[in-house]
Structure 1
């Protein structure tokens, strides 16, 4: 665990950000690993939707454990989106994350957004981070604030104190999905943690985000939603006898090969 966790930590280089694609099942993770990505995250929306469950509602505790078990032998470093930890008891959150770590997971995203659209108290979020770090010291805790994602008033005024509290609690990174482009550089300079942002089509590319000091760029649910969109487009094209005008899909044999066990790093 320590060597793998150190490898993952070393991939977070401000100025030369890690592109972290987010998978939702074995096939998507194996395909991304086969493309040479050294590390992957999971997408909570993709995992939840694939299981027929709502995202952000604490419904996928078992699904994440099952997915981590199925991905453990892939040659890739894995970090898991655990929403708010599936409990408001810091000890229970730490116990759950320790189960993931025992399956080879090297990091987690732990968020402060709640299903009712509010933010968890900063003290509670910090207590969860501290409990996880005490239970699994080497694991990379990416502390996520939904201050922008949920549209709370004065999000910067919410995010900066949270970042300071979470850094003091032992967080290893800060994730700020939805933060506006013109604040990314300030956040990277002020929070004192490797900064993770969500890739936005049409927004800054990896090089531009690196120039702002970003250390990690996640795709979030984008790949999952794109896969659904492509499936719908092709189905509509077949039904309407239209040219699909899309790249050729992976071959049957290539997809079959994804299920052949490979040694993880």
Structure 2
């Protein structure tokens, strides 16, 4: 496999699908993606736990241990994170982590990034700021935070919810690091993001939510006597095969 860091290329961004369990990870790896991420919402939901509150550390680590042997790199969403969580997933085989600031103070996040990089210099730390996540975006605050995280030693910058081309371009110019944006079906196209200099596009919880919607749609079709879409479905043997 190519080095995980080298997959973040200008002009050819890393498309990072996010898995929520072993089956989704195996199918995505089998589809040829060179790297997959985990989705904290998906992992939390399938385990009946809240997202973003550090409740899924054990479940996330268990998942990483089971998928780290797949023929792709694995990067892990450890939510707000800790050095201990980073060390654990790295020992389990993760090539990278996402660590989010949840719009808390900048300095504790800077200290965390520095501490993780001291302990694990080879781990790809994708520093996420939530300035645009489920809130009105603040570009000035975004730039302040991404510069601070870059100076602390982060390997990549992630701004979920960032969708305005001018704002994306400003973040790309602000740091000499790969910038990651979340795919938005109503936002810029992949070609447009590539032209703006984005080097990583992840799907977050999108695939998980699409799968849930398809599940409910199929169940309603069975109930209502309408056709169930079956083209392209993975077969029983493919899913049941040992990892």
Classify the TM-score, shorter chain: over 0.9
Task: Find the counterpart in structure 2 of residue 89 from structure 1.
Answer: none
Task: Find the counterpart in structure 1 of residue 95 from structure 2.
Answer: 106
Q: Aligned partners of 1:111, 1:47: CA distance in 2, in Å?
A: 16
Q: Is the 8 A contact 1:95 1:135 kept in 2?
A: no
Task: Find the counterpart in structure 2 of residue 165 from structure 1.
Answer: 148
The verdict on how the C-alpha distance between 1:202 and 1:180 changes in structure 2, with shifts beyond 3 A counting, is closer
Q: Aligned partners of 1:32, 1:42: CA distance in 2, in Å?
A: 11
Q: Is the 8 A contact 2:21 2:63 kept in 1?
A: yes
Matches within 5 A, 1:24-103: 24-85=20-81, 93-103=82-92
Q: Deviations over 1:126-170 (max 9, x none)?
A: 111001001100100000000011426x61111111111111110
Q: 1:149 is matched with which residue: 120, 124, 133?
A: 133
In the alignment, is residue 22 of structure 1 matched against residue 18 of structure 2? yes
Q: Is the 8 A contact 1:174 1:193 kept in 2?
A: yes
Q: Aligned partners of 2:162, 2:233: CA distance in 1, in Å?
A: 34
Matches within 5 A, 1:86-235: 93-113=82-102, 119-151=103-135, 155-182=138-165, 183-235=167-219
Unaligned residue ranges in structure 1 (runs of 5+):
86-92, 114-118, 261-265
Q: Deviations over 1:215-238 (max 9, x none)?
A: 000000000000000010000000
Q: Is the 8 A contact 1:130 1:169 kept in 2?
A: yes
What SS does the aligned partner of 2:188 have? Answer: coil
Q: Is the 8 A contact 1:15 1:212 kept in 2?
A: no
Q: Deviations over 1:4-26 (max 9, x none)?
A: 7x700000012211000000000
Q: How far does residue 204 in structure 1 lie from its aligned partner after superposition?
A: 2.2
Q: Aligned partners of 2:68, 2:52: CA distance in 1, in Å?
A: 24
Higher RCO structure (Cα 8 Å, ≥6 apart) = 1
Task: Find the counterpart in structure 2 of residue 7 from structure 1.
Answer: 3
Q: Aligned partners of 2:25, 2:209: CA distance in 1, in Å?
A: 15
Q: Aligned partners of 2:75, 2:91: CA distance in 1, in Å?
A: 13
Q: Give RMSD over aligned pairs.
A: 1.4
Q: Is the 8 A contact 1:15 1:209 kept in 2?
A: no
Q: How far does residue 210 in structure 1 lie from its aligned partner after superposition?
A: 0.6
What TM-score do the two structures reach when normalised by structure 1?
Answer: 0.88
Q: How far does residue 184 in structure 1 lie from its aligned partner after superposition?
A: 1.0
Unaligned residue ranges in structure 2 (runs of 5+):
none
Q: Is the 8 A contact 2:8 2:14 kept in 1?
A: yes
